[in-house]
């Protein structure tokens, strides 16, 4: 008898003590509607400092389908997701947030599309009225900029909530990068995909774990992980500025030859020095971003450290 479940739910959790009970009870109700599908939960405790782990353990002793990977510290959501994918064994995998902002009712639609032959079915947020205005604007801007410059666009308003066939998960697991940007990776692997729309509800309980500074850094990481355009673009900008400078130089030389030396020019000189100085600093900053990335990658540290595993037996993948 094979004990591969049909669906693996991968749930990263960081200080989620307030929502765990609601999460499991809501999932229970939803899964009762599809009794023909077997499932497992891979809950990744991402170094929570509250009672997340003990609460999870209680659930895990009652139900062996609830499996836990507990990190030694907070390694961030991307690493938690990857660890969950590595430990999952289902015929398809659904990563979900613990806070019920990824509505479980959508699972039924995901599965329907999967049965129709789609290998990736992702949730598309139609309206984000429950998010703050700034979050909506910045998120929109991020998708616009990202899709303009990235090699592989990501569908706008798509999070990590999706169903992936085992084939897709195995493809993702071949990726050796250390610093992960899962949204980029999801779209990079390709496969037959479609979107299902949903309205993103409010957090069921607890607080968001992402402040704007974290989101900003996350956006930078996402871009440097997905494209080298910010590096390449300077060849063109440089050539353009060089061409203009060349023409201006010719004009200055000509004017000096024919009309003699004219001393004024302090303002233009200062503007040029400041302008080119700042352009160079910006370029250095961008180089720095990529060098930092190379540095992190060549260190080859493990993506995360596991402190404890529960209900994951040896023949499971992790
Ligand atoms: N999360 C995590 N590690 C972190 C931050 C968040 O595992 O360092 C988890 C969190 O517990 C939740 C999911 O990632 O299950 C999404 O986080 P959150 O709801 O705070 O993000 P938002 O929905 O506000 O973007
Ligand atoms: Mg949330």
The full DSSP string for 92-138 is EEEE--TTS-S-TTHHHHHHHHHHTT-SEEEEEES--TTS-HHHHHH
Per-residue pLDDT tens over the stretch 72-120: 999 999 999 999 999 999 999 999 999 998 999 999 999 999 999 999 9
Task: Give this prediction's pTM.
Answer: 0.82
> Is there a contact between 187 and 143 (Cβ–Cβ < 8 Å)?
no
Q: Provide the percentage of residues in the chain whose pLDDT is more than 90.
A: 48
Contacts of 196 (CB under 8 A, 6+ apart): 106, 109, 110, 113, 121, 122, 123, 124
Ligand 2 center to 59 CA (angstroms): 22
* DSSP state for residue 48 in the 8-state scheme: -
Q: Which ligand is nearest to the CA of 50?
A: 1
* Average pLDDT over all residues of the chain: 88
Q: Which atom of ligand 1 is nearest to the CA of 75?
A: 8
Q: Strand pairing partners for 12?
A: 44
Tokens standing for residue 78? 């991307």
The pLDDT value given to residue 83: 95
The pLDDT value given to residue 26: 93
Residue nearest to atom 16 of ligand 1 (CA): 97
Ligand 2 center to 14 CA (angstroms): 11
Q: Which atom of ligand 1 is nearest to the CA of 207?
A: 20
Domains of the chain: 7-210+302-310 (3.90.550.10), 229-298 (no CATH)
Q: Which atom of ligand 1 is nearest to the CA of 81?
A: 7
> Is there a contact between 162 and 61 (Cβ–Cβ < 8 Å)?
no
> Is there a contact between 122 and 182 (Cβ–Cβ < 8 Å)?
no
Ligand 1 center to 314 CA (angstroms): 28
Give the pocket of ligand 1 (CB within 6 Å).
12-14, 16, 46, 74, 76-77, 80, 97-99, 101, 203, 208-210
**Strand 66-71 to 306-310 pairing:** antiparallel
Tokens standing for residue 242? 């060089």
CB neighbourhood size of 206 (10 A): 17
Residue nearest to atom 2 of ligand 1 (CA): 77
Residue nearest to atom 23 of ligand 1 (CA): 208
Q: Which atom of ligand 1 is nearest to the CA of 14?
A: 11
Ligand 1 center to 291 CA (angstroms): 28
Q: Which ligand is nearest to the CA of 10?
A: 1
- Tell how far CA 185 is from the center of its chain: 8
- Would you say residue 1 has pLDDT above 60? no
**Strand 193-198 to 120-125 pairing:** parallel
**Strand 92-95 to 158-165 pairing:** antiparallel
Residue nearest to atom 24 of ligand 1 (CA): 208
Among candidate residues 233, 231, 215, 218, the one with its CA nearest the CA of residue 290? 231
Per-residue pLDDT tens over the stretch 49-79: 999 999 999 999 999 899 999 999 999 999 9
- Tell how far CA 200 is from the center of its chain: 17
């Amino acid at each position: 008898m094979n004990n591969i479940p049909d669906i693996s739910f991968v749930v990263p959790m960081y200080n989620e003590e307030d929502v765990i009970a609601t999460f499991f009870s809501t999932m229970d109700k939803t899964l009762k509607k599809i009794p023909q599908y077997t499932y497992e939960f891979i809950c990744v405790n991402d170094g929570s400092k509250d009672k997340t782990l003990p609460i999870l353990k209680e659930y895990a002793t009652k139900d062996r389908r609830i499996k836990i990977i507990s990190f030694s510290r907070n390694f961030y959501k991307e690493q938690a997701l990857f660890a969950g994918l590595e430990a999952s064994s289902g015929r398809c995998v659904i990563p979900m947030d613990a806070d019920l902002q990824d509505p479980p009712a959508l699972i039924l639609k995901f599965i329907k599309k999967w049965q129709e032959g789609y290998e990736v079915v992702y949730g598309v947020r139609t309206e984000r009225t429950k998010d703050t205005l700034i979050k909506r604007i910045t998120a929109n801007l991020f998708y616009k900029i990202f899709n303009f410059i990235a090699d592989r666009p990501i569908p706008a308003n798509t999070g990590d909530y999706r169903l992936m066939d085992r084939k897709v998960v195995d493809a993702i697991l071949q990726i050796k990068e250390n610093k992960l940007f899962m949204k980029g990776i999801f779209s990079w692997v390709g496969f037959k995909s479609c979107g299902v729309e949903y309205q993103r509800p409010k957090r069921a309980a607890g607080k968001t774990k992402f402040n704007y500074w974290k989101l900003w850094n996350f956006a930078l990481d996402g871009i440097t992980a997905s494209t080298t355009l910010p590096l390449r673009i300077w060849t063109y900008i440089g050539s353009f500025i060089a061409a203009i400078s060349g023409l201006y130089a010719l004009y200055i030389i000509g004017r000096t030859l024919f009309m003699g030396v004219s001393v004024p020019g302090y303002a233009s000189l200062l503007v040029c020095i400041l302008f080119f100085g700042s352009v160079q600093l910006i370029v250095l900053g961008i180089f720095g971003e990529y060098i930092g990335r190379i540095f992190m990658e060549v260190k080859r540290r493990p993506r995360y450290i596991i402190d404890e595993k529960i209900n994951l037996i040896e023949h499971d993948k992790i």
